[in-house]
Amino acid sequence: MFLLTLTLVAAGCSRLTFIRPKVERTDGEQVAPTYRVVDNPETKRRMEADQAVAVATQRLQAGDLETAERHARTALKVAPQSADVQTLLALLADQRGQAKQAGEHYKRATELAPGRGAEQNNYGVWLCSNGFPAEALVWFDRALQDADYETPAAALANAGGCAAKAGQHERAERDLRQALVLDPRNAYALASMAESEYRAGRYFEARAFVERRLAAASATADVLKLATQIEERLGDRAAAGRYVQQLRAEFPDASDAQTGGKAEQ
């Protein structure tokens, strides 16, 4: 079965990643292995579920929600105990704006894969995004307990941003800085640190973080609004004006640059 994980670092945007087995190199002569094909019902079910998940994911990425959901439902019938299928159904529900159903699927995925960090992180993100920041921190902690979790920086960044929402500012700074040690270009951690420094009145530090954020990934409307506010506080009207121009050029439907300043989630 595919291992389906998410990196949820931008509002409304979930990136799918398929983790493939690692191949270790060894010294000495290698002999081609002998394979024995076992064509049993369990193997057939697993292959059918894998194929349905793969097609559903491809169609989801292409924006074809109807086809994606049809294949996801097929996978669910074949493999009802699959955490990957539950995650896929959660993504589909998210895309349709069905927050409650998405949360149920994310939670079910954690029950089916209790030791896997990706599922714990995903449910934590859902909780934090739906008004339960304190509860979400428990799930980020669980994600980080998985020694095989390949993207701990993402969970730390999510935990830091969520801790700030919960009013736990010391933990927020600790987790965000630790995320940046592991991944200095983590866009969410950089944006969250920029906002934290801005709200604390440390505008030069906020400027440094927002500049790093803009160098790490494509701009968003919220980051450009925050950058504008920082430059205005520093008295650099020319720099603020450049950010406003960029905001209007790239996000013409965005609200007034004088409001906002909310980092990505």
* φ, ψ at 246 (rounded to 5°): -65, -40
Given pLDDT bands bounded at 50, 70 and 90, which one contains residue 40? confident
pLDDT digits (tens, 9 = 90+) for 136-173: 999 999 999 999 999 999 999 999 999 999 999 999 99
Question: What pLDDT, on a 0 to 100 scale, did the predictor assign at position 203?
Answer: 98
Q: Average pLDDT of 122-135?
A: 96
Where do the domains of the chain lie, and which CATH numbers do they carry? 1-19+46-113 (1.25.40.10), 124-175 (no CATH), 184-265 (1.25.40.10)
What are the E-state strand segments in the chain? 4-10, 13-18
Q: Which secondary structure element, helix H or strand E, spans residue 88, and what is its range? A: helix 83-95
Given pLDDT bands bounded at 50, 70 and 90, which one contains residue 20? very low
Q: How far apart are CA 212 and CA 122, in angstroms?
A: 26
Q: How far apart are CA 110 and CA 219, in angstroms?
A: 32
Tokens of 139: 């799930």
Is this structure's pTM higher than 0.85? no
The alpha carbon of 94 is separated from its chain's Cα centroid by a whole number of angstroms, namely 13
- Could you tell me the sign of the dihedral formed by the alpha carbons of 75, 77, 80, 86, in that order? positive
- In the DSSP assignment, the letter for residue 19 is P
Tokens of 60: 């989801």
pLDDT digits (tens, 9 = 90+) for 251-265: 998 865 454 444 443
pLDDT digits (tens, 9 = 90+) for 209-247: 999 999 999 999 999 999 999 999 999 999 999 999 999
Given pLDDT bands bounded at 50, 70 and 90, which one contains residue 46? confident
Q: How far apart are CA 86 and CA 74, in angstroms?
A: 12
